Chains A and B, each alone.
Chain A
């Protein structure tokens, strides 16, 4: 934390939140990302109101209508319709809510389990710690997609199962990164000092440890969010995630593949949506990482 000497010659600490925000404000791409991201979140919170049509309603007279700015498009169907006559704009909004909220859910579930496990095992016994690290190292040899696919092969294909599978597959990553951060913190002088002073477990945990690893947690959370979105979309595309009735961006692209000549916009539009969302999250997480880092900006 930064400090300065005020006019009375006393040492003053800058509120860490204000400092963080000050540094973040001066990071142009991160601000831009934050703007986009908040717009996206707003769109999805409002999606049930904004979506003009029911997501599963098939307009039998308007199959594969191009987006409104192309010839043949209609203003009623802003982004066109897909092969069964469903409005892409509505599906994009609701599907985005599905994809992104699913990603949030997956990441938070994984974070809670991973972080609590990390705290518990790293702070308590040594052999428990070693074994857990070993188990998670074994799981970490596999990419997230492979573990998620293996889980789905057992529990079946559906959107909820894919969220669960990705969540489980991300736990080892959270554990590892938190475990590293915590073991670094444990050896810090102020931590040892507090312990020697006789601080109780809870005080150690919440007052000393948490504030310092919070940065690592937030960074990992934001990076995992973008990974989760892409993984959910990938599972949907491969046919192991959301099935065809559910509007999910990856599944929309997967279905659109069979109609790539007749309705290329049904491939472009959800893809661009995924791209923008993930880019926004990347920019935000890069901004957070830079703002939290110890280097002088």
Chain B
């Protein structure tokens, strides 16, 4: 509990910094765009800043210039679309990464292992946008297996209840709701596949190295010589210890994941936060960007707290602090 409180304190501290940065950014940007000189006194500007903070607490994050909608509202509308990409990608990356890493231990040097080793190094070096383009060329327009863009074919009228297309199609009362569900899944597969590859290669690499090291360490070998079953060894001993360094790197990976999501949403015309962010940047809508940046920071920090929590729960050493 004390741990959580400490993390929340950090969260608020950082959010203060983020809000100040966003405020300064938008002021500077507007001055630059209008070619005006910074003419306000520090006192005036601080007052403005506090008014801005007050508005934030009231839920007013600004207004989008090109269509007049409220920033917070549009952000929450589009967030599920991005989450629908990110969450499956993380889950898949972990599940597949774990499987592949364990396979690397059980059959070191087997063809699965060497293939994933080579691919893993390669995937780290491929720019995401190019990878997405290539996968599109091969699977969508090449083999004609998947659609090229969007979340759902436009012929289906699905009412947005949660914002998650997979859930909304099932909740829909229309006769074609099942058909729409599979259609949504079809649209989801290619972007999620592209998005999974980057964290997958990271998780796989780290987990494989970590588990190999641990698995060859003295105490594991001692346990093995005492006749402990392999599965118990892996799941109860090597794996939890190997996870720790991977989780440490997860917050950096999450940053990379956000960047990749922006790019993939652009590639696949996926109407999520990343796509919207690029649009706002292109339109130089600084006031809206001010609010969006703060909201994005909130999401990132929440994810960081979640990873730290996970780290804490799986790592008894931390718990004793």
A and B touch in the complex (CB under 8 A): yes
Residues of A within 8 A of B (CB): 134-135, 137-139, 141-146, 149-150, 152-155, 226, 230, 233-234, 237-240, 250, 253, 257, 260-261, 264, 267-268, 271, 274-275, 278-279, 282-283
Contact between chains at A141 and B297 (CB < 8 Å): yes
Q: Find out whether the CB atom of B126 lies under 8 angstroms from the CB atom of A275.
A: yes
Decide yes or no whether B48 CB sits under 8 A from chain A. no
Q: Which residues of B contact A152 (CB under 8 A)?
A: 281
Q: Cβ of A238 and Cβ of B259 under 8 Å apart?
A: no
In the complex, chain B residues whose CB is within 8 Å of the CB of A250: 127, 129
Are B127 and A153 in contact, CB atoms less than 8 angstroms apart?
no
- The answer for the CA separation of A150 and B293 in the assembled complex, in Å, is 9
What is the bound-complex CA distance between A75 and B29, given in angstroms? 50
* In the assembled complex, B277 has its CB within 8 A of some CB on chain A: yes
Most central of B126, B256, B289 by chain A CB within 10 Å: B126
The smallest beta-carbon distance between A261 and chain B, in angstroms, is: 8
CB-based nearest B residue for A157:
B282
Q: Which of A144, A153, A267 is B281 in contact with, Cβ under 8 Å?
A: A153
B18, A138: Cβ atoms closer than 8 Å:
yes
- Give the total number of A-B pairs whose CB atoms are below 8 A apart: 113
Residues of A within 8 A of B18 (CB): 138, 141
Task: Out of A137, A149, A260, A264, name the residue touching B17 (CB < 8 Å).
Answer: A137
> Given known contacts A145-B259, A155-B32, what 9 new A-B pairs fall within 8 Å (CB)?
A141-B300, A141-B304, A142-B300, A143-B258, A146-B258, A250-B129, A267-B134, A271-B127, A282-B125
The reply to whether A274 and B121 contact each other, CB–CB distance below 8 Å, is no
**For B90, what are the chain A residues with a Cβ–Cβ distance below 8 Å?**
none
A238 touches B125 (CB 8 A): no
Chain A residue contacts of B134, Cβ below 8 A: 267-268, 271
Which 4 A-B pairs give the minimum distances between C-beta atoms? A138-B17, A271-B130, A279-B125, A143-B255
Determine if A143 and B125 form an interchain contact, defined as CB atoms under 8 angstroms apart. Answer: no
> Complex: how many Å from CA A251 to CA B57?
41
The reply to whether A145 and B130 form a contact with Cβ atoms under 8 Å apart is no
* Interface pair B21/A279, CB less than 8 Å apart: no
Which chain A residues lie closer than 8 Å to B259 at the CB level?
143-146, 234
Contact indicator B28/A154 (Cβ below 8 Å): yes
